[in-house]
Amino acid sequence: HVLFNLFPFSNTLCSPFQYNCSFWHLKQNFVEYEIDIDPTSLATRIISVREQLAKEWLQDLDLVVEANERVLSSYLNNVKHARDSVRTNDDDDDDEGKDKKRKEEKEEEGPIDLLQERAIQQVMAFEKVRLDTLMESQESYNFMNGIGPRPSPLRKSSLDLLLLLTMQESIHRVLRNFKGMG
């Protein structure tokens, strides 16, 4: 590992291990700053940042719930649409002279045939919901209506962290339920 120093009065980048560099023996200039820190004001700032992040997480949890509801409804709609399309294809194949009773029995049975099940599985499972667009629409609505403070600069990364934590917690709950079942 070689350290390189750039000297303020030199335009060359010199390594301290090079003997032909003309300024390598000079010391680097350091600038020191003295800052007085007031512990009470620092603690107050830290607590206010924690409070703002907690309020944002409350809003973000609502966004996560809304996104999950959209994903679930999208999944259910896609499965229903796939079943309906398979059934309509089967109904088109039937002769018109057959009984309506047979069609009603087919609707009550649901997807029994393997081909029908595979056709349903080939449908896209759900439409992915982008949380950042939900978050931006909520932020712009809140800002335009004067509701709440401006979001923190770390809002998107804290939302990502919240998503990971909620996913981890849901996985742990599912595993605990399976463990409890035996």
Domain residue ranges in the chain: 1-36, 58-150
**Burial class of residue 76 in the structure, from the number of CB atoms within 10 Å of its CB (0-12 exposed, 13-18 middle, 19+ buried):** exposed
pLDDT single digits (tens) 90-116? 555 555 545 555 555 555 555 455 555
What whole-number distance in Å separates Cα of residue 102 and Cα of residue 106?
A: 6
Q: Residues 67, 69, 75, CA angle at the centre, nearest 5°?
A: 105
Alpha helices in the chain (DSSP H): 39-93, 100-109, 114-121, 131-144, 155-181
Integer angstrom CA distances of residue 123 from 70, 107, 111, 133: 17, 20, 14, 25
Which is nearest to 60 in space by CA: 138, 170, 172, 169? 138
Longest dimension (CA), the chain: 102
Asked whether the predicted pLDDT for residue 82 surpasses 50, the reply is yes
pLDDT of residue 47: 96
pLDDT single digits (tens) 120-175? 555 555 566 666 666 666 665 565 566 666 777 888 888 889 888 998 999 999 99
pLDDT single digits (tens) 36-60? 888 899 999 999 999 988 988 888 8
Ramachandran class of 27: left when φ > 0, alpha when ψ lies in -120 to 50, beta otherwise: beta
What whole-number distance in Å separates Cα of residue 66 and Cα of residue 131?
A: 9
User: Which range (1-10, 14-23, 49-58, 151-160) has the least confidence?
Assistant: 1-10
